[in-house]
Amino acid sequence: MTLRVRTVFADVPRPGNWALCGSYEGPEGPDAATTFSGLDRWQDANATFLHAGRLQQLHFLSDEAFRYFLPAFLVADLEGNLDGRDGDVVWLLTSAFRREQIDEPVNPGRFGARTWADCGRYKFSTFTKAEAHVIVEYLRWKLLDAEPDDAGDVVDALDSYWLKRT
C-alpha cells in the first residue's frame, strides 16, 4: 500500500509557500506554514520532521497543502513510523463525519448553517478520485486493528463520504 500512496500522490503539485497557511486566526496556521515551507517535497519528510508535532500542524494548513503533505504521514503510518504521541491521521480524515457531530453547525454565529460535514467535504474535495481511493484503502487498513469507538468513526466517514468519492 505504501507504493500506491507514493505513486498516486507523486504528481500532486506542491503549493507555493504563500499558499500553505489555512487560517490567520491565531498563531497555529502561520506557524504550520512556516514549518512546512522548509519541506520542498513530501517524499523527503524524515522521522525527525514527522515526530516533531507536525501531524497536528497539518490540520492548520490550507486545503491544497493538506492534500500535498498528507501522503508523508500516510506512508510513515503504513511503515510503522508514527505512534499515538504524533497524533492521529485517521482523526484528520474522519472527524468531520462522526455520526454524533456530522450535522452540527461548526460555529453558527460566524458560519451560519455550515456543518462539520460541509467543512470536511470542502476540505477533502481537493483529492482526486485515485487519491480518495488510496485514502479509503488506508482507512480500511486502519480498521483491521481499530478500537471499537475508533472503528465506528472510520465506518461513519467511509459510509457518509469517502466511499462516495471513489
Task: Indicate if 64 and 94 belong to the same structural domain.
Answer: no
Rounded to whole angstroms, how far apart are CA atoms 79 and 1?
A: 10
Task: Indicate if 64 and 109 belong to the same structural domain.
Answer: no
pLDDT for 55 equals: 77
pLDDT for 58 equals: 86
Residue 81 lies in a domain: no
| 99 neighbors 156 (Cβ within 8 angstroms) | yes
- Residue 61 has phi, psi (to 5 degrees) of -85, 165
Classified as helix, coil or strand, 115 is strand
- Give the cell for residue 151: 472503528
pLDDT digits (tens, 9 = 90+) for 105-135: 998 998 999 999 999 999 999 999 999 999 9
pLDDT for 94 equals: 94
- Give the cell for residue 34: 512556516
pLDDT for 87 equals: 63
| 20 neighbors 33 (Cβ within 8 angstroms) | yes
Predicted confidence (pLDDT) at residue 98 exceeds the cutoff of 80: yes
Task: For residues 42-65, give the mean pLDDT.
Answer: 85
In this structure, which long-range contacts are made by residues 22-29, counting pairs with CB atoms below 8 Å and at least 24 apart in sequence? Answer: 22/59, 22/60, 22/61, 22/62, 22/63, 22/65, 22/66, 23/60, 28/57, 28/60, 29/60, 29/61
Number of domains making up the chain? 2
Domain around 120:
88-166
State the pTM of this model.
0.93
Band the pLDDT of 147: cuts 50, 70, 90: confident
Task: Indicate if 105 and 137 belong to the same structural domain.
Answer: yes
Predicted confidence (pLDDT) at residue 7 exceeds the cutoff of 70: yes
Task: For residues 48-61, give the mean pLDDT.
Answer: 81
Mean of per-residue pLDDT scores for the chain: 91
Task: Indicate if 92 and 61 belong to the same structural domain.
Answer: no
Band the pLDDT of 15: cuts 50, 70, 90: very high
Residue 78 lies in a domain: no
| 68 neighbors 41 (Cβ within 8 angstroms) | no
Task: Indicate if 95 and 137 belong to the same structural domain.
Answer: yes
